[in-house]
Every structure is written in C-alpha cells, then in structure tokens.
DNA sequence: TAGTGGTCTAGACCACGAC
DNA sequence: TCGTGGTCTAGACCACTAG
C-alpha cells in the first residue's frame, strides 16, 4: 500500500468523521456504530481504522462507548480487531452472518426483485401439532397462508405460514403479495426477533414441481421455522420449499460467537 | 412458582456462588462467565438470576465486568435480559446458535458417538479452482482426503477435504479416523475460527448411495465450506454430503446479532 | 519501545417494568 | 415508587504486535 494512498484515505476519513451531531433519542454507541459503517464503506477491505482513542475523541464519546460500537461491528463481521496492531475492515464475506431475514430481504440482498403470489389463505383452528408448536390451544384460530415467492418473477420457493389470528386480526385484508414481516411490523407492531430453523433435503412432488416450474423429483430444500418475538413468544410457523437449482443457503459461521 | 421453590433455589444459588477463587491467568469476565454457566445449569428455564449489582458484589468484580460476562451468555443464548425486570435462564433452544463445529462435536452434541473411515488420502497439486478458493498457487501441493463419517456406527456423511500441504506436513501419518479439527489444533497449532458455508440439496448417485447405505436418488444435503483461521487465512475446503433421512441442519437465527 | 486493542474499575444517570 | 437492566464516563493498567 503506497503512502499516497494512505494520505488519500486519511482525507476521506477526515471528511467522514467530521461534524458529528449526536441526537439524544438513540443510544450513543448506536449512533457511533452507524457513523462507523459509513466510514467503513468508504474504505477497502484490509484498511486500518484509526485507533480507538482517536475515534473516541473525534466522536466525543468515551473509549468504552466507542468500543461498544466497534464490538457490534466486529461480531457482525464488518471489521476484525487485532490486539497490538489495529482494527481492520473485513473482507466482504458471503453473508455478514446467519441472521434472521425474510424472503424479501434475502432476495433484495442478492440483487433480485422479490414478489409473491398468494395461493390461499384460510382462518382455521390450530389443531394439536400446530397448537403445540405455537404454544396455543388447539381450538384457537390461526391464519393459514400459502404463497409462491418469486425473484425477478421466477418462482423460487413455496411458503406455508401459520400465525395465531389473535395477534393479527384482519390479516386476510392485508396485501399479502408483499413482505409479511413488513406487514407484521407496520400494521401489528410485531417484530420477529429470533427463530429456530431446521433445514432438510427433499425432492418435489408433481404439484410442487408445477408451481416452481421445475421437473418432478427435482432436489429442493425444506426450511422449517418457528419465529419468536423478543420475549420468545411464538409468532409464526413457516415451512418453505426452495428449488435446489437456483437457490442455496449461505452463511458465515464462527467459533465461539461470544 | 411457589415461595418454597424460590427459597430452595436461593439456597442452591448461594452454594453455587460461594467461595470464588479467581486466578490471574484467565480474564475475569471469562471466569465469571464460566461460574455463571455452572449456576445456570442448577436452575430451570425461566428462573430469574440475581441482580447484576448483587452478582458483581458476590464475584468481587465491577458491574461492567459482570455485564461483559452476561452479555456473552445472552448472545450465546443461555439467558435473556429484560430491561426493568431481570435476567432469566433461557428456554433450551434447538441449538445455542449457528456455530462453527466439526462433525465430531456436532454428533457428540446430539448424543451420538462419532467415528470415521478414511477412504483415500492423496498429495496432489491444487489446480486452478481449488487454488483460487484457498488463495494458493495452482501448483502448490495439497492433501486431499475422503472420509465416511459415522454416528454410532451408522454412515451419516461423505466428506471431501483439501488442505494446503505446507500447513500440515505429514498429515498422512496422522490418525485420520479421528477429529481432523482436533489434529489441526493439537499437532499443527491451527485453530479454525470462521467458515463460509453454502448448503444445497441433491440426490445421491449410486456410489454415494452404497457408501451411505441409502437407496440411490435419495435426498441429501451438500454442505460446502471454506474454513479460515483468525486472520482469515484459508485453511481448508470441505464438501460434505449428508444423508437426508437421518440428518438435518438446525440453527437459531436472530435479528441484528449485535 | 511505542502504540495498539483488551480488560477493569467505581461510580453516575437513564429507561423500563412490576407493583 | 422502586428495582431492574441499559448506557456512559474518565481514567488505569495489561497483553500483544510491529518496527
């Protein structure tokens, strides 16, 4: 790396770091984190970040607060910290980590335009198995919906979702060709926080093959998921079948993600 | 929850928290973390942990240090923190998170006895594709090994691994029916830190079917992985084919794993 | 040796939830 | 209201890495 490049970088950095107005609504470490992401996007992978003490001074926060921000970035895979040396912009990885994302986000991140076709929606009682998974009475009503999810208009996955109707009254009046997670958030104030997932392989049957426009018995991935909110109350049970020829699951896993 | 139960819990807790001898080798927050894990294992899911201030006093550390320990436990899924209320033992989840684990650990965690059969090992030049993935010259030598991995003696997966021979001289003299990761660590001082993975569905061909003892064209999962050390130097390329009837991939994913 | 990140302290105040 | 976890500070010393 040439000296000139370093100087050019420094100038960019100074720009990006200048004039920070911290508002009082958001936690400081979060504001700092967001500022740092902007800075990182100006740099290239492998570039060294300014020392923590200097960054803290520039942002006008204590070093502990600055470190809290950087810790978030490190665990999200943006930067790598090396004791005794410095903090460096990480290589772009396949995915930042294995996060909980909806289909819409997932596809958008891969550069496709997501869309949906609603196949069916019904309002039925949960029954024993589903009731147990969602921790509700078997008699309680749920919305059951089936969709084809598409990327750039190409069918990618068949999705079956069940949600307690109590949590989402009038869900059948919503535009279900859009992001369900977005509807949950905006209309019902429900935020999915975590999910337990199981991934298995299968081959598609005739009906699934027709919907996905692949040959019968093509390999496919089944993803079963139970989604929870922040207090680990079950929100949804989902089962998705992804065509194997155009979809894969990518993730970065780490040792001891403490 | 009855009052009696609370009292009984308190007694257990007091026991578990008593007499802590901190050694100076390990970081305090790590020692505290390990002690807390012992405490948590005595409790049941949903039980409330003592307040941070009290725990800090008991362990003889500052509250910040105690919080660092609890943060680790929270992100690893052991506990859930609720502002204004308390910290609670988490429900046992399907898996604590999606961590980087070897087959041996993975199987041991599920309660099976892992074993391996070495099918082949060779010492060849990397070639173009592998060279690019491991960021080495196409002419550089690699060890190429193929194994059948078993759980309680039942074939679960076919594994193909390539490693730069420069990093692991004499690997072909090692007992490769055991954990490769353990050999890497103990013999070569190489610690895998993170890996990029891709998961896809497939169906097994005749040869794979024979080795896995499943019918030909059975569904299976392919897991492709490139493993890196802490400095993100590529260490291994692995491809595993898991039988779909007895194996699935389980994980807990979270929103914004900051 | 100098500079980096890693740890740790002893306070302080705030935001939130249960009562 | 009170107790909880969440944030933040201004220092201090340690462990490690580069030169």
- Tell me: the pLDDT tens digits for B145-174? 999 999 999 999 999 999 999 999 999 999
User: Cβ of A203 and B203 within 8 Å?
Assistant: yes
Evaluate if the CB of A169 falls below 7 Å from strand D. no
pLDDT of residue B77: 82
pLDDT of residue B158: 97
CA distance B88 to chain A (A): 11
CA distance A10 to chain B (A): 24
Average pLDDT, integer, range A20-24 = 56
Are both A20 and A80 inside the same structural domain?
Answer: yes
| Domain-embedded: residue B254 | no
Protein B81 CA to nucleic acid D4 C1', in Å?
10
With an 8 Å Cβ cutoff, is A196 touching chain B? Answer: yes
Are both A181 and A122 inside the same structural domain?
Answer: yes
CATH number of the domain to which A170 belongs: 3.40.1410.10
User: Cβ of A82 and B231 within 8 Å?
Assistant: yes
Protein A11 CA to nucleic acid C3 C1', in Å?
22
Residue A85, C-beta contacts closer than 8 angstroms, at least 6 positions apart: none
| Domain-embedded: residue A234 | yes
What burial class does residue A2 get, using C-beta atoms within 10 Å of its C-beta: 0-12 exposed, 13-18 middle, 19+ buried?
exposed
Q: Kindly indicate the confidence band of residue B63, based on its pLDDT and cuts at 50, 70 and 90.
A: very high
Share of chain B above pLDDT 90, in %: 51
User: Does residue A18 sit in helix, strand or coil?
Assistant: coil
Share of chain A above pLDDT 70, in %: 87
pLDDT tens sequence across A134-153:
989 999 999 999 999 999 99
Residue B238, C-beta contacts closer than 8 angstroms, at least 6 positions apart: B159, B160, B161, B162, B223, B224, B225, B226, B227
Protein B14 CA to nucleic acid C7 C1', in Å?
27
Residues 95-154 of chain B whose Cβ lies under 8 A from any Cβ of chain A? 97-100
Average pLDDT, integer, range A168-192 = 88
CA distance A134 to chain B (A): 14
pLDDT of residue A140: 94
Of B38, B72, B89, the residue at which a domain comes to its end is: B89
Mutate to test the interface with B, among A201, A208, A216, A224 (most CBs of B within 10 A): A201
Are both A118 and A71 inside the same structural domain?
Answer: no
pLDDT of residue B93: 59
| Domain-embedded: residue B257 | no
pLDDT tens sequence across B93-137:
555 556 778 888 888 888 899 999 999 999 999 999 999 999 999
Are both B121 and B13 inside the same structural domain?
Answer: no
Evaluate if the CB of A64 falls below 7 Å from strand D. yes
The total of structural domains in chain B comes to: 2
Protein B74 CA to nucleic acid D12 C1', in Å?
28
Residue nearest to nucleotide C19 (CA to C1'): B85
Q: What is the dihedral of CA A146, A148, A151, A156, to 10 degrees?
A: 110
Q: What average pLDDT does chain B have?
A: 86
With an 8 Å Cβ cutoff, is A91 touching chain B? Answer: yes
| Domain-embedded: residue A211 | yes
Q: Kindly indicate the confidence band of residue B45, based on its pLDDT and cuts at 50, 70 and 90.
A: confident
Q: Kindly indicate the confidence band of residue A17, based on its pLDDT and cuts at 50, 70 and 90.
A: low
CA A243/CA A158 separation, integer angstroms? 9
pLDDT of residue B2: 40
Of A48, A73, A89, the residue at which a domain comes to its end is: A89
| DSSP states of B3-16 | HHHHHHHHHHHHHH
- Which of A3-17, A85-99, B153-167 is predicted most confidently? B153-167
CA A71/CA A89 separation, integer angstroms? 13
With an 8 Å Cβ cutoff, is B226 touching chain A? Answer: no
| Domain-embedded: residue B110 | yes
Question: Which chain B positions have a beta carbon within 8 Å of A94's beta carbon?
Answer: 196-198
Residue A93, C-beta contacts closer than 8 angstroms, at least 6 positions apart: A77, A252, B196
| Domain-embedded: residue B256 | no
Are both B70 and B162 inside the same structural domain?
Answer: no
Average pLDDT, integer, range A3-29 = 57
Are both A206 and A104 inside the same structural domain?
Answer: yes
Average pLDDT, integer, range A72-80 = 87
B1 has pLDDT over 60:
no
Are both A61 and A98 inside the same structural domain?
Answer: no
Of the candidates B98, B86, B92, B2, which has an alpha carbon nearest to the alpha carbon of residue B52? B86
Are both B135 and B99 inside the same structural domain?
Answer: yes
Q: For residue B40, what are the domain limits?
A: 3-89
Are both A227 and A245 inside the same structural domain?
Answer: yes
Are both A85 and A106 inside the same structural domain?
Answer: no
Of A89, A116, A135, the residue at which a domain comes to its end is: A89
CATH number of the domain to which B47 belongs: 1.10.10.10
Are both B59 and B165 inside the same structural domain?
Answer: no
CB distance B229 to B192 below 8 Å: yes
CB distance A176 to A118 below 8 Å: yes
Of A201, A254, A255, Cβ closest to residue B221? A201
User: Cβ of B255 and A99 within 8 Å?
Assistant: yes
| Domain-embedded: residue B165 | yes
pLDDT tens sequence across A202-232:
999 999 999 999 999 999 999 999 998 877 7
CB distance B217 to B159 below 8 Å: no
Question: Which chain B positions have a beta carbon within 8 Å of A192's beta carbon?
Answer: 255
| Domain-embedded: residue B217 | yes
Are both B114 and B242 inside the same structural domain?
Answer: yes
With an 8 Å Cβ cutoff, is B221 touching chain A? Answer: yes
The label of the residue with tokens 């399907």 reads: B94
pTM to 2 decimal places: 0.83
């Amino acid at each position: 790396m040439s000296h000139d490049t370093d100087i050019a970088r420094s100038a960019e950095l100074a720009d990006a770091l200048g004039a920070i107005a911290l508002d009082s609504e958001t936690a400081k470490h979060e504001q700092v984190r967001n500022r740092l992401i902007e800075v990182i996007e100006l740099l290239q992978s492998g570039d060294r970040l300014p020392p923590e003490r200097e960054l803290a001074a520039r942002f006008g926060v204590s070093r502990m607060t600055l470190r809290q921000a950087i810790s978030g970035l490190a665990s999200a895979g943006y930067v790598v910290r090396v004791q005794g040396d410095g903090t460096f912009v990480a290589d772009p990885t396949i995915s930042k980590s294995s996060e909980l994302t909806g289909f819409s986000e997932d596809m958008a991140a891969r550069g496709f335009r997501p869309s949906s076709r609603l196949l069916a929606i019904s309002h039925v009682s949960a029954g024993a198995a589903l009731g147990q998974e969602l921790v509700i009475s078997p008699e309680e009503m749920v919305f059951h919906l089936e969709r084809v999810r598409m990327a750039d208009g190409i069918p990618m996955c068949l999705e079956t979702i069940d949600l307690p109707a109590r949590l989402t009254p009038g869900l059948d009046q919503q535009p279900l060709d859009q992001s369900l997670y977005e509807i949950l958030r905006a209309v019902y104030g429900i935020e999915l926080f975590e999910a337990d997932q199981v991934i298995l392989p299968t081959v598609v049957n005739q009906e699934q093959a027709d919907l996905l426009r692949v040959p019968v018995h093509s390999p496919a991935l089944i993803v079963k998921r139970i989604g929870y909110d922040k207090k680990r109350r079950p929100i949804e049970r989902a089962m998705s079948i992804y065509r194997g020829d155009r979809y894969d699951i990518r993730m970065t896993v780490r040792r001891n993600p403490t």
